[in-house]
Structure 1
Protein backbone atom coordinates (compact mmCIF):
# COMPACT_ATOMS: atom_id res chain seq x y z
CA UNK A 1 0.00 0.00 0.00
CA UNK A 2 1.34 3.44 -0.93
CA UNK A 3 0.37 6.92 0.28
CA UNK A 4 2.23 9.49 -1.79
CA UNK A 5 2.21 13.25 -1.40
CA UNK A 6 -0.96 13.29 0.67
CA UNK A 7 0.49 15.93 3.05
CA UNK A 8 -0.24 13.72 6.02
CA UNK A 9 0.80 15.02 9.42
CA UNK A 10 0.49 11.64 11.11
CA UNK A 11 0.39 8.02 9.93
CA UNK A 12 -2.99 7.05 8.46
CA UNK A 13 -5.31 5.25 10.85
CA UNK A 14 -7.63 3.66 8.31
CA UNK A 15 -5.42 0.81 7.17
CA UNK A 16 -6.27 -2.88 6.72
CA UNK A 17 -4.75 -4.94 9.50
CA UNK A 18 -3.43 -7.47 6.95
CA UNK A 19 -1.20 -5.03 5.05
CA UNK A 20 2.37 -6.31 4.57
CA UNK A 21 4.07 -3.32 2.90
CA UNK A 22 3.37 0.36 3.53
CA UNK A 23 4.96 3.34 1.78
CA UNK A 24 4.28 6.96 2.80
CA UNK A 25 6.15 9.54 0.73
CA UNK A 26 6.02 13.31 0.41
CA UNK A 27 4.07 13.94 3.61
CA UNK A 28 4.80 16.20 6.59
CA UNK A 29 5.00 13.75 9.47
CA UNK A 30 7.59 15.92 11.21
CA UNK A 31 7.46 13.97 14.50
CA UNK A 32 6.95 10.24 14.89
CA UNK A 33 5.25 10.28 18.26
CA UNK A 34 5.15 7.44 20.74
CA UNK A 35 2.93 4.61 19.44
CA UNK A 36 2.35 6.51 16.18
CA UNK A 37 1.11 3.33 14.50
CA UNK A 38 -0.67 1.83 17.51
CA UNK A 39 -4.07 3.41 16.83
CA UNK A 40 -4.73 0.37 14.69
CA UNK A 41 -1.97 -2.22 15.11
CA UNK A 42 -0.57 -3.79 11.95
CA UNK A 43 0.62 -7.22 13.09
CA UNK A 44 1.60 -8.37 9.58
CA UNK A 45 3.45 -5.25 8.40
CA UNK A 46 6.98 -6.23 7.39
CA UNK A 47 8.19 -3.28 5.30
CA UNK A 48 7.65 0.39 6.13
CA UNK A 49 8.97 3.15 3.85
CA UNK A 50 8.82 6.73 5.13
CA UNK A 51 10.83 8.62 2.53
CA UNK A 52 10.71 12.40 1.98
CA UNK A 53 8.28 12.86 4.89
CA UNK A 54 10.13 15.69 6.67
CA UNK A 55 10.62 13.50 9.74
CA UNK A 56 12.75 15.37 12.25
CA UNK A 57 12.11 13.65 15.56
CA UNK A 58 11.56 10.00 16.44
CA UNK A 59 10.26 9.49 19.95
CA UNK A 60 10.51 6.44 22.21
CA UNK A 61 8.37 3.47 21.14
CA UNK A 62 7.37 5.27 17.93
CA UNK A 63 6.99 1.94 16.12
CA UNK A 64 4.88 0.25 18.77
CA UNK A 65 2.17 -1.84 17.16
CA UNK A 66 4.41 -3.19 14.37
CA UNK A 67 5.73 -6.44 15.89
CA UNK A 68 6.53 -8.07 12.52
CA UNK A 69 8.44 -5.12 11.04
CA UNK A 70 11.66 -6.24 9.35
CA UNK A 71 12.63 -3.35 7.07
CA UNK A 72 12.38 0.35 7.91
CA UNK A 73 13.32 3.05 5.38
CA UNK A 74 13.74 6.58 6.77
CA UNK A 75 15.86 7.90 3.92
CA UNK A 76 15.72 11.54 2.79
CA UNK A 77 14.40 12.94 6.09
CA UNK A 78 16.10 15.79 8.02
CA UNK A 79 16.50 13.91 11.29
CA UNK A 80 17.35 16.10 14.29
CA UNK A 81 16.65 13.77 17.19
CA UNK A 82 16.38 10.00 17.62
CA UNK A 83 15.31 8.78 21.06
CA UNK A 84 17.16 5.94 22.75
CA UNK A 85 14.02 3.78 22.56
CA UNK A 86 12.98 4.85 19.06
CA UNK A 87 13.20 1.31 17.69
CA UNK A 88 11.94 -0.52 20.76
CA UNK A 89 9.00 -2.83 20.20
CA UNK A 90 10.22 -4.11 16.79
CA UNK A 91 12.38 -7.11 17.74
CA UNK A 92 12.47 -8.51 14.19
CA UNK A 93 13.88 -5.34 12.59
CA UNK A 94 16.99 -6.32 10.60
CA UNK A 95 17.26 -3.65 7.87
CA UNK A 96 17.40 0.08 8.56
CA UNK A 97 17.85 2.58 5.73
CA UNK A 98 19.00 6.10 6.66
CA UNK A 99 20.35 7.30 3.34
CA UNK A 100 20.67 11.10 3.29
CA UNK A 101 18.94 11.36 6.65
CA UNK A 102 21.80 12.56 8.87
CA UNK A 103 22.62 15.80 7.09
CA UNK A 104 20.83 18.21 9.43
CA UNK A 105 22.59 17.10 12.63
CA UNK A 106 25.29 14.63 13.73
CA UNK A 107 23.34 11.77 15.29
CA UNK A 108 25.95 9.04 15.51
CA UNK A 109 25.83 8.81 19.29
CA UNK A 110 22.03 8.92 19.39
CA UNK A 111 21.85 6.14 16.83
CA UNK A 112 24.32 4.08 18.83
CA UNK A 113 21.98 4.26 21.83
CA UNK A 114 18.87 3.58 19.74
CA UNK A 115 20.41 0.51 18.08
CA UNK A 116 22.07 -1.06 21.08
CA UNK A 117 19.17 -3.40 21.87
CA UNK A 118 18.40 -4.60 18.34
CA UNK A 119 20.36 -6.84 15.97
CA UNK A 120 20.57 -5.36 12.50
CA UNK A 121 21.80 -7.24 9.47
CA UNK A 122 21.92 -4.22 7.19
CA UNK A 123 22.36 -0.53 7.93
CA UNK A 124 22.41 1.94 5.01
CA UNK A 125 23.96 5.36 5.57
CA UNK A 126 24.76 6.48 2.03
CA UNK A 127 24.95 10.16 1.21
CA UNK A 128 25.53 11.35 4.77
CA UNK A 129 29.19 12.38 4.39
CA UNK A 130 30.16 10.39 7.48
CA UNK A 131 33.88 9.96 8.03
CA UNK A 132 33.75 7.67 11.05
CA UNK A 133 31.24 5.90 13.25
CA UNK A 134 31.50 4.97 16.91
CA UNK A 135 32.24 1.29 17.46
CA UNK A 136 29.06 0.92 19.51
CA UNK A 137 26.91 1.85 16.50
CA UNK A 138 27.17 -1.53 14.77
CA UNK A 139 27.44 -4.14 17.53
CA UNK A 140 25.06 -6.66 16.00
CA UNK A 141 25.65 -6.39 12.24
CA UNK A 142 26.48 -9.70 10.53
CA UNK A 143 28.97 -7.76 7.77
CA UNK A 144 31.51 -7.66 10.98
CA UNK A 145 30.86 -10.97 12.84
CA UNK A 146 30.50 -13.29 9.85
CA UNK A 147 33.44 -11.90 7.89
CA UNK A 148 35.72 -11.29 10.84
CA UNK A 149 35.69 -7.51 10.54
CA UNK A 150 36.32 -5.13 13.38
CA UNK A 151 33.31 -3.69 15.27
CA UNK A 152 32.15 -0.44 13.82
CA UNK A 153 33.34 -1.26 10.33
CA UNK A 154 30.77 -0.01 7.84
CA UNK A 155 30.48 -1.72 4.48
CA UNK A 156 28.61 0.31 1.90
CA UNK A 157 27.96 -0.58 -1.72
CA UNK A 158 27.92 2.26 -4.20
CA UNK A 159 26.21 1.40 -7.46
CA UNK A 160 27.41 4.64 -8.99
CA UNK A 161 31.02 3.73 -8.23
CA UNK A 162 30.45 0.24 -9.64
CA UNK A 163 29.08 1.76 -12.85
CA UNK A 164 32.07 4.09 -13.14
CA UNK A 165 34.45 1.16 -12.74
CA UNK A 166 32.65 -0.79 -15.47
CA UNK A 167 32.74 2.26 -17.75
CA UNK A 168 36.49 2.67 -17.20
CA UNK A 169 37.07 -1.01 -17.97
CA UNK A 170 35.07 -0.61 -21.18
CA UNK A 171 37.06 2.49 -22.20
CA UNK A 172 40.36 0.72 -21.56
CA UNK A 173 39.19 -2.25 -23.62
CA UNK A 174 38.22 -0.01 -26.53
CA UNK A 175 41.54 1.83 -26.32
CA UNK A 176 43.43 -1.46 -26.44
CA UNK A 177 41.47 -2.48 -29.51
CA UNK A 178 42.14 0.88 -31.15
CA UNK A 179 45.87 0.87 -30.45
CA UNK A 180 46.20 -2.68 -31.75
CA UNK A 181 43.89 -2.27 -34.73
CA UNK A 182 46.71 -2.96 -37.25
CA UNK A 183 47.80 -6.12 -35.48
CA UNK A 184 44.20 -7.29 -35.20
CA UNK A 185 43.64 -6.54 -38.87
CA UNK A 186 46.81 -8.47 -39.80
CA UNK A 187 45.75 -11.39 -37.60
CA UNK A 188 42.30 -11.49 -39.22
CA UNK A 189 43.91 -11.35 -42.68
CA UNK A 190 46.26 -14.24 -41.85
CA UNK A 191 43.38 -16.24 -40.42
CA UNK A 192 41.31 -15.66 -43.54
CA UNK A 193 44.22 -16.71 -45.78
CA UNK A 194 44.81 -19.84 -43.73
CA UNK A 195 41.14 -20.76 -44.00
CA UNK A 196 41.21 -20.09 -47.73
CA UNK A 197 44.30 -22.31 -48.22
CA UNK A 198 42.68 -25.07 -46.21
CA UNK A 199 39.48 -24.89 -48.27
CA UNK A 200 41.44 -24.86 -51.52
CA UNK A 201 43.30 -27.98 -50.37
CA UNK A 202 40.02 -29.76 -49.68
CA UNK A 203 38.67 -28.60 -53.04
CA UNK A 204 41.75 -29.86 -54.92
CA UNK A 205 41.60 -33.25 -53.21
CA UNK A 206 37.92 -33.56 -54.07
CA UNK A 207 38.62 -32.81 -57.73
CA UNK A 208 41.35 -35.45 -57.84
CA UNK A 209 39.12 -38.10 -56.26
CA UNK A 210 36.28 -37.23 -58.63
CA UNK A 211 38.47 -37.44 -61.83
CA UNK A 212 37.08 -40.42 -63.90
CA UNK A 213 40.43 -40.94 -65.67
CA UNK A 214 42.17 -41.41 -62.34
CA UNK A 215 39.45 -43.87 -61.28
CA UNK A 216 39.79 -45.81 -64.57
CA UNK A 217 43.55 -45.97 -64.26
CA UNK A 218 43.26 -47.38 -60.76
CA UNK A 219 40.67 -49.96 -61.86
CA UNK A 220 42.74 -51.31 -64.84
CA UNK A 221 46.37 -51.50 -63.72
CA UNK A 222 47.44 -53.60 -66.76
CA UNK A 223 46.54 -50.99 -69.32
Structure 2
Protein backbone atom coordinates (compact mmCIF):
# COMPACT_ATOMS: atom_id res chain seq x y z
CA UNK A 1 0.00 0.00 0.00
CA UNK A 2 2.80 2.38 0.87
CA UNK A 3 4.66 1.65 -2.35
CA UNK A 4 1.54 2.16 -4.44
CA UNK A 5 0.77 5.44 -2.70
CA UNK A 6 4.30 6.70 -3.32
CA UNK A 7 4.04 5.79 -7.00
CA UNK A 8 0.70 7.57 -7.46
CA UNK A 9 2.03 10.63 -5.62
CA UNK A 10 5.18 10.73 -7.83
CA UNK A 11 3.16 10.46 -11.05
CA UNK A 12 0.77 13.18 -9.92
CA UNK A 13 3.72 15.46 -9.06
CA UNK A 14 5.34 14.85 -12.47
CA UNK A 15 2.15 15.54 -14.34
CA UNK A 16 1.72 18.73 -12.34
CA UNK A 17 5.33 19.89 -13.30
CA UNK A 18 4.67 19.21 -17.00
CA UNK A 19 1.47 21.23 -16.88
CA UNK A 20 3.23 24.10 -15.11
CA UNK A 21 6.41 24.35 -17.38
CA UNK A 22 5.53 23.22 -20.90
CA UNK A 23 6.85 26.37 -22.55
CA UNK A 24 10.24 26.23 -20.77
CA UNK A 25 10.88 22.67 -22.03
CA UNK A 26 10.04 23.59 -25.59
CA UNK A 27 12.27 26.68 -25.40
CA UNK A 28 15.21 24.63 -24.14
CA UNK A 29 14.79 22.15 -26.99
CA UNK A 30 14.71 24.86 -29.63
CA UNK A 31 17.76 26.53 -28.09
CA UNK A 32 19.72 23.29 -28.34
CA UNK A 33 18.67 22.80 -31.95
CA UNK A 34 19.63 26.36 -32.92
CA UNK A 35 23.00 26.05 -31.17
CA UNK A 36 23.69 22.84 -33.10
CA UNK A 37 22.75 24.49 -36.37
CA UNK A 38 25.01 27.46 -35.56
CA UNK A 39 27.92 25.12 -34.89
CA UNK A 40 27.32 23.31 -38.17
CA UNK A 41 27.21 26.62 -40.04
CA UNK A 42 30.42 27.80 -38.36
CA UNK A 43 32.22 24.59 -39.29
CA UNK A 44 30.96 24.78 -42.87
CA UNK A 45 31.63 28.50 -43.34
CA UNK A 46 34.11 29.37 -46.07
CA UNK A 47 36.88 31.85 -45.07
CA UNK A 48 36.75 35.32 -46.65
CA UNK A 49 38.17 35.65 -50.18
CA UNK A 50 38.33 31.86 -50.54
CA UNK A 51 36.58 29.32 -52.73
CA UNK A 52 35.40 26.12 -51.04
CA UNK A 53 34.41 22.77 -52.50
CA UNK A 54 33.23 20.39 -49.80
CA UNK A 55 32.89 17.43 -52.16
CA UNK A 56 36.61 17.47 -52.97
CA UNK A 57 37.60 18.93 -49.60
CA UNK A 58 39.45 21.82 -51.27
CA UNK A 59 39.72 25.40 -49.97
CA UNK A 60 41.49 27.77 -52.36
CA UNK A 61 42.45 31.25 -51.11
CA UNK A 62 44.15 33.34 -53.77
CA UNK A 63 44.98 37.02 -54.16
CA UNK A 64 41.77 38.88 -53.44
CA UNK A 65 42.86 41.92 -51.49
CA UNK A 66 43.11 39.94 -48.25
CA UNK A 67 46.46 39.36 -46.51
CA UNK A 68 47.57 36.68 -44.09
CA UNK A 69 46.67 33.08 -43.45
CA UNK A 70 42.91 32.38 -43.65
CA UNK A 71 41.31 31.83 -40.27
CA UNK A 72 38.65 29.31 -39.25
CA UNK A 73 39.47 26.78 -41.96
CA UNK A 74 36.58 24.26 -42.18
CA UNK A 75 37.14 20.97 -40.41
CA UNK A 76 36.39 18.99 -43.56
CA UNK A 77 39.30 20.62 -45.46
CA UNK A 78 41.74 18.10 -46.93
CA UNK A 79 43.53 20.48 -49.34
CA UNK A 80 44.28 24.12 -48.57
CA UNK A 81 45.81 26.34 -51.28
CA UNK A 82 46.97 29.83 -50.30
CA UNK A 83 48.66 32.00 -52.94
CA UNK A 84 49.38 35.70 -53.38
CA UNK A 85 48.16 36.63 -49.91
CA UNK A 86 51.38 38.34 -48.69
CA UNK A 87 51.60 36.15 -45.60
CA UNK A 88 55.14 37.36 -44.67
CA UNK A 89 55.32 35.48 -41.32
CA UNK A 90 54.09 32.04 -40.34
CA UNK A 91 53.59 32.19 -36.59
CA UNK A 92 53.16 29.33 -34.16
CA UNK A 93 49.92 27.45 -34.79
CA UNK A 94 49.06 29.65 -37.75
CA UNK A 95 46.57 27.07 -39.05
CA UNK A 96 45.13 25.87 -35.74
CA UNK A 97 41.50 26.78 -35.13
CA UNK A 98 40.89 27.24 -31.40
CA UNK A 99 43.57 24.70 -30.60
CA UNK A 100 41.89 21.90 -32.59
CA UNK A 101 43.67 19.65 -35.08
CA UNK A 102 42.71 19.58 -38.76
CA UNK A 103 42.64 16.46 -40.97
CA UNK A 104 44.37 18.35 -43.76
CA UNK A 105 46.53 16.26 -46.12
CA UNK A 106 47.83 18.88 -48.58
CA UNK A 107 48.97 22.43 -47.77
CA UNK A 108 50.23 24.70 -50.57
CA UNK A 109 51.73 28.07 -49.57
CA UNK A 110 53.63 28.86 -52.78
CA UNK A 111 54.18 32.49 -53.88
CA UNK A 112 53.15 34.25 -50.69
CA UNK A 113 56.28 36.32 -49.98
CA UNK A 114 56.88 34.33 -46.80
CA UNK A 115 59.99 35.65 -45.04
CA UNK A 116 59.85 34.13 -41.55
CA UNK A 117 58.79 30.67 -40.36
CA UNK A 118 58.60 30.45 -36.59
CA UNK A 119 58.80 27.32 -34.45
CA UNK A 120 55.67 25.11 -34.44
CA UNK A 121 54.23 27.11 -37.33
CA UNK A 122 52.37 23.98 -38.52
CA UNK A 123 51.13 22.94 -35.10
CA UNK A 124 47.70 21.31 -35.37
CA UNK A 125 48.38 19.71 -38.78
CA UNK A 126 49.68 16.26 -37.84
CA UNK A 127 48.28 14.52 -40.92
CA UNK A 128 49.70 16.76 -43.65
CA UNK A 129 51.40 14.62 -46.32
CA UNK A 130 52.48 17.36 -48.76
CA UNK A 131 53.75 20.84 -47.88
CA UNK A 132 54.65 23.32 -50.65
CA UNK A 133 56.61 26.44 -49.66
CA UNK A 134 58.08 27.17 -53.09
CA UNK A 135 58.68 30.61 -54.62
CA UNK A 136 58.95 32.55 -51.38
CA UNK A 137 61.75 34.70 -49.88
CA UNK A 138 62.54 32.98 -46.60
CA UNK A 139 65.03 35.02 -44.58
CA UNK A 140 64.65 33.14 -41.30
CA UNK A 141 63.52 29.61 -40.53
CA UNK A 142 63.39 28.32 -36.99
CA UNK A 143 65.01 25.02 -36.04
CA UNK A 144 61.56 23.85 -34.92
CA UNK A 145 59.68 25.10 -37.96
CA UNK A 146 58.59 21.61 -39.05
CA UNK A 147 57.77 20.23 -35.61
CA UNK A 148 54.59 18.19 -35.54
CA UNK A 149 54.57 17.19 -39.22
CA UNK A 150 55.00 13.53 -38.33
CA UNK A 151 53.26 12.21 -41.47
CA UNK A 152 54.88 14.58 -43.95
CA UNK A 153 55.94 12.73 -47.12
CA UNK A 154 56.79 15.58 -49.52
CA UNK A 155 58.37 18.97 -48.78
CA UNK A 156 58.87 21.55 -51.57
CA UNK A 157 61.19 24.52 -51.00
CA UNK A 158 62.04 25.40 -54.59
CA UNK A 159 63.37 28.96 -55.12
CA UNK A 160 62.54 29.94 -51.55
CA UNK A 161 65.71 29.86 -49.46
CA UNK A 162 68.13 32.78 -49.50
CA UNK A 163 71.84 31.78 -49.40
CA UNK A 164 72.36 33.01 -45.82
CA UNK A 165 69.56 30.72 -44.58
CA UNK A 166 71.28 27.50 -45.70
CA UNK A 167 72.58 26.68 -42.20
CA UNK A 168 69.18 27.41 -40.65
CA UNK A 169 67.59 25.10 -43.21
CA UNK A 170 69.93 22.27 -42.23
CA UNK A 171 68.94 22.71 -38.58
CA UNK A 172 65.23 22.77 -39.46
CA UNK A 173 65.55 19.59 -41.55
CA UNK A 174 67.11 17.86 -38.54
CA UNK A 175 63.69 17.81 -36.84
CA UNK A 176 62.71 14.34 -35.64
CA UNK A 177 59.22 14.97 -37.02
CA UNK A 178 60.54 14.52 -40.58
CA UNK A 179 61.47 10.85 -40.19
CA UNK A 180 58.81 9.87 -42.75
CA UNK A 181 59.92 12.36 -45.41
CA UNK A 182 60.13 10.68 -48.84
CA UNK A 183 60.75 13.59 -51.23
CA UNK A 184 62.60 16.85 -50.61
CA UNK A 185 62.78 19.53 -53.34
CA UNK A 186 65.40 22.28 -52.99
CA UNK A 187 65.82 23.41 -56.60
CA UNK A 188 66.97 26.92 -57.47
CA UNK A 189 68.21 27.97 -54.02
CA UNK A 190 71.91 28.64 -54.79
CA UNK A 191 72.95 25.99 -52.28
CA UNK A 192 76.68 25.17 -52.24
CA UNK A 193 76.44 21.81 -50.47
CA UNK A 194 74.05 18.93 -49.90
CA UNK A 195 72.10 19.28 -46.61
CA UNK A 196 72.47 15.62 -45.69
CA UNK A 197 74.67 16.04 -42.62
CA UNK A 198 71.75 16.79 -40.27
CA UNK A 199 68.83 15.33 -42.25
CA UNK A 200 67.37 12.02 -41.10
CA UNK A 201 67.37 10.47 -44.56
CA UNK A 202 66.48 6.95 -43.50
CA UNK A 203 63.22 7.07 -45.51
CA UNK A 204 64.19 9.70 -48.07
CA UNK A 205 63.60 8.45 -51.62
CA UNK A 206 64.14 11.59 -53.73
CA UNK A 207 66.34 14.64 -53.16
CA UNK A 208 66.03 17.35 -55.83
CA UNK A 209 68.99 19.78 -55.92
CA UNK A 210 68.67 20.95 -59.52
CA UNK A 211 69.87 24.45 -60.49
CA UNK A 212 71.91 25.30 -57.39
CA UNK A 213 75.53 26.47 -56.89
CA UNK A 214 77.10 23.14 -55.96
CA UNK A 215 80.70 23.10 -57.27
CA UNK A 216 81.92 19.98 -55.53
CA UNK A 217 80.63 17.24 -53.24
CA UNK A 218 83.03 16.31 -50.48
CA UNK A 219 83.85 12.83 -49.26
CA UNK A 220 81.55 13.07 -46.21
CA UNK A 221 78.49 13.76 -48.37
CA UNK A 222 79.49 10.96 -50.74
CA UNK A 223 79.70 8.59 -47.76
CA UNK A 224 76.23 9.70 -46.61
CA UNK A 225 74.82 9.12 -50.09
CA UNK A 226 76.39 5.67 -50.19
CA UNK A 227 74.75 4.76 -46.89
CA UNK A 228 71.31 5.90 -48.11
CA UNK A 229 71.13 3.59 -51.10
CA UNK A 230 67.40 4.12 -51.67
CA UNK A 231 67.84 7.89 -52.07
CA UNK A 232 67.84 9.25 -55.62
CA UNK A 233 69.65 12.59 -56.01
CA UNK A 234 68.98 15.00 -58.90
CA UNK A 235 71.96 17.33 -59.50
CA UNK A 236 71.72 18.74 -63.02
CA UNK A 237 72.37 22.45 -63.74
CA UNK A 238 75.05 22.79 -61.06
CA UNK A 239 78.47 24.40 -61.83
CA UNK A 240 80.79 21.51 -60.97
CA UNK A 241 84.54 22.17 -60.68
CA UNK A 242 86.14 19.14 -62.30
CA UNK A 243 89.32 19.10 -60.26
CA UNK A 244 90.96 16.80 -57.77
CA UNK A 245 88.33 17.72 -55.12
CA UNK A 246 85.68 15.92 -57.18
CA UNK A 247 87.46 12.56 -57.08
CA UNK A 248 85.24 10.83 -54.47
CA UNK A 249 82.02 12.03 -56.15
CA UNK A 250 83.34 11.06 -59.61
CA UNK A 251 83.93 7.42 -58.62
CA UNK A 252 80.60 7.30 -56.73
CA UNK A 253 78.88 8.54 -59.89
CA UNK A 254 80.61 5.85 -61.94
CA UNK A 255 79.73 2.99 -59.60
CA UNK A 256 76.26 4.03 -58.38
CA UNK A 257 72.82 4.45 -59.92
CA UNK A 258 71.55 6.89 -57.31
CA UNK A 259 71.80 9.91 -59.65
CA UNK A 260 69.16 9.51 -62.41
CA UNK A 261 70.28 12.67 -64.24
CA UNK A 262 74.00 11.83 -64.19
CA UNK A 263 74.20 12.23 -67.98
CA UNK A 264 73.23 15.91 -67.61
CA UNK A 265 76.02 16.87 -65.19
CA UNK A 266 78.56 19.25 -66.76
CA UNK A 267 81.88 20.83 -65.79
CA UNK A 268 82.06 24.60 -65.42
CA UNK A 269 85.75 24.81 -64.44
CA UNK A 270 88.55 24.67 -65.39
CA UNK A 271 88.20 26.46 -68.71
CA UNK A 272 89.63 23.53 -70.68
CA UNK A 273 86.85 21.23 -69.43
CA UNK A 274 83.91 23.64 -69.51
CA UNK A 275 80.78 21.96 -70.85
CA UNK A 276 82.31 18.49 -70.65
CA UNK A 277 80.06 15.78 -69.23
CA UNK A 278 81.23 14.36 -65.90
CA UNK A 279 80.64 10.87 -67.24
CA UNK A 280 83.24 11.50 -70.00
CA UNK A 281 86.01 12.49 -67.60
CA UNK A 282 88.98 10.18 -67.23
CA UNK A 283 90.31 8.95 -63.95
CA UNK A 284 93.48 10.99 -64.29
CA UNK A 285 91.41 14.17 -64.71
CA UNK A 286 90.35 13.95 -61.08
CA UNK A 287 93.26 11.92 -59.71
CA UNK A 288 94.61 13.75 -56.69
CA UNK A 289 97.93 11.83 -56.76
CA UNK A 290 98.75 12.76 -60.37
CA UNK A 291 97.67 16.34 -59.80
CA UNK A 292 99.90 16.62 -56.75
CA UNK A 293 102.83 15.03 -58.60
CA UNK A 294 102.38 17.46 -61.48
CA UNK A 295 102.37 20.38 -59.08
CA UNK A 296 105.53 19.05 -57.41
CA UNK A 297 107.20 18.65 -60.83
CA UNK A 298 106.52 22.28 -61.71
CA UNK A 299 107.89 23.40 -58.37
CA UNK A 300 111.04 21.30 -58.82
CA UNK A 301 111.56 22.69 -62.35
CA UNK A 302 111.28 26.21 -61.03
CA UNK A 303 113.86 25.50 -58.35
CA UNK A 304 116.31 24.04 -60.89
CA UNK A 305 115.95 27.03 -63.22
CA UNK A 306 116.48 29.39 -60.29
CA UNK A 307 119.69 27.56 -59.32
CA UNK A 308 121.00 27.71 -62.91
CA UNK A 309 120.31 31.43 -63.02
CA UNK A 310 122.08 31.92 -59.71
CA UNK A 311 125.17 30.01 -60.90
CA UNK A 312 125.26 32.06 -64.09
CA UNK A 313 125.17 35.31 -62.11
CA UNK A 314 127.96 34.07 -59.83
CA UNK A 315 130.15 33.24 -62.84
CA UNK A 316 129.57 36.68 -64.27
CA UNK A 317 130.45 38.29 -60.96
CA UNK A 318 133.67 36.31 -60.49
CA UNK A 319 134.85 37.10 -64.01
CA UNK A 320 133.78 40.70 -64.08
CA UNK A 321 137.36 41.93 -64.64
CA UNK A 322 138.02 39.70 -67.63
CA UNK A 323 134.61 40.46 -69.05
CA UNK A 324 135.32 44.17 -68.77
CA UNK A 325 138.64 43.84 -70.64
CA UNK A 326 136.98 41.69 -73.29
CA UNK A 327 134.26 44.29 -73.80
CA UNK A 328 136.88 47.06 -74.04
CA UNK A 329 138.82 45.11 -76.66
CA UNK A 330 135.69 44.58 -78.69
CA UNK A 331 134.91 48.28 -78.46
CA UNK A 332 138.43 49.29 -79.59
CA UNK A 333 138.28 46.83 -82.49
CA UNK A 334 134.94 48.19 -83.57
CA UNK A 335 136.30 51.78 -83.37
CA UNK A 336 139.35 50.96 -85.51
CA UNK A 337 137.21 49.31 -88.10
CA UNK A 338 134.84 52.27 -88.22
CA UNK A 339 137.79 54.67 -88.69
CA UNK A 340 139.01 52.65 -91.68
CA UNK A 341 135.57 52.77 -93.26
CA UNK A 342 135.37 56.49 -92.61
CA UNK A 343 138.79 57.15 -94.24
CA UNK A 344 137.88 55.20 -97.36
CA UNK A 345 134.56 57.01 -97.62
CA UNK A 346 136.32 60.41 -97.51
CA UNK A 347 138.73 59.40 -100.28
CA UNK A 348 136.00 58.10 -102.53
CA UNK A 349 133.96 61.26 -102.11
CA UNK A 350 136.82 63.72 -103.03
CA UNK A 351 136.33 64.87 -106.77
CA UNK A 352 140.05 65.84 -107.16
CA UNK A 353 141.08 62.30 -106.44
CA UNK A 354 138.63 61.16 -109.08
CA UNK A 355 140.23 63.47 -111.76
CA UNK A 356 143.73 62.19 -110.92
CA UNK A 357 142.52 58.69 -111.41
CA UNK A 358 141.24 59.62 -114.90
Partner of 1:150: 226
Mapped partners of 2:143, 2:227: distance in 1: 20
Partner of 1:39: 97
**What is the SS of the residue equivalent to 2:131?**
strand
Measured at CA, do residues 42 and 18 of structure 1 come closer, stay the same or move farther in structure 2, by a change above 3 Å?
Answer: farther
* Structure 2, unaligned runs of 5 or more: 1-58, 207-223, 237-260, 265-358
Q: Which moved more, 1:70-79 or 1:128-137?
A: 128-137
CA contact 2:73–2:97 (8 Å) conserved in 1: no
CA contact 1:61–1:89 (8 Å) conserved in 2: yes
CA contact 2:72–2:97 (8 Å) conserved in 1: no
Moved over 6 A (4+): 151-154
Q: Deviations over 1:187-212 (max 9, x none)?
A: xxxxxxxxxxxxxxxxxxxxxxxxxx
- Does structure 1 residue 135 correspond to structure 2 residue 193? no
Partner of 2:183: 122
Task: Please state how far the C-alpha of 1:96 moved relative to its aligned partner.
Answer: 0.6
Partner of 2:132: 73
Larger relative contact order (C-alpha < 8 A, sep ≥ 6)?
A: 1
From 82, 87, 90, give the equivalent of 2:149: 90
Task: Please state how far the C-alpha of 1:143 moved relative to its aligned partner.
Answer: 3.0
Partner of 2:70: 12
Partner of 1:58: 117
Q: Identify, as 1 or 2, the structure richer in helix.
A: 2
- Does structure 1 residue 29 correspond to structure 2 residue 105? no
Larger of the two Rg values belongs to structure = 2
Output the aligned Cα RMSD.
2.9
Task: Please state how far the C-alpha of 1:50 moved relative to its aligned partner.
Answer: 0.3
Q: Which moved more, 1:13-22 or 1:24-33?
A: 13-22
CA contact 2:173–2:198 (8 Å) conserved in 1: yes
Task: Please state how far the C-alpha of 1:24 moved relative to its aligned partner.
Answer: 0.4
Measured at CA, do residues 57 and 149 of structure 1 come closer, stay the same or move farther in structure 2, by a change above 3 Å?
Answer: same
Partner of 2:219: none
Query: TM-score, length-normalised on structure 1?
Result: 0.62
* Structure 1, unaligned runs of 5 or more: 166-223
Q: How many residues align?
A: 159
Mapped partners of 1:14, 1:35: distance in 2: 12
CA contact 2:156–2:185 (8 Å) conserved in 1: yes
**What is the SS of the residue equivalent to 1:155?**
strand
